[in-house]
Amino acid sequence: MLTSANRDAHVRAILLDDDAKDFLDNAEMKSVLAETKSLLKRKLDILGMDACLMSMAEIGYQIRESADYAVGSEEIAPLEGWPYDAILASLVKTPTMTPCDLSTLIVNKYLES
């Protein structure tokens, strides 16, 4: 696996960690998600990507075997990100909602915000 110390200048960073001064690129994200699937012995229900440009078609293709649903933006997102208060309040109110319903709720609450 590549580390931030041995990447060439053409690699683009996603999943930035400002505290650790490191990041994952999309190939590393695919690897981490595959390992997570292996550890869980199933796909993630939802992969939420609350940052700009994280949900491009290429990323969706890379994570298709690791998550049943992906929620994110192909465009620039506001700095505040998702309205977690509204999303989590709805989830607390209806904790039995399906991953499909929660994914739809996240999108709708984001559009409302």
Element (H, E) at 107: helix 99-112
pLDDT reported for residue 11? 57
25-50 confidence digits (pLDDT tens): 888 889 999 999 999 999 999 999 88
pLDDT reported for residue 9? 44
Among 37, 67, 70, which Cα is nearest to 56's?
70
User: From CA 7, how far away is CA 5, in angstroms rounded?
Assistant: 6
User: From CA 34, how far away is CA 67, in angstroms rounded?
Assistant: 9
Which whole number is the average pLDDT over 44-63? 86
Mean pLDDT of the chain: 84
Question: 76 in helix, strand or coil?
Answer: coil
- Is the overall model pTM greater than 0.85, yes or no? no
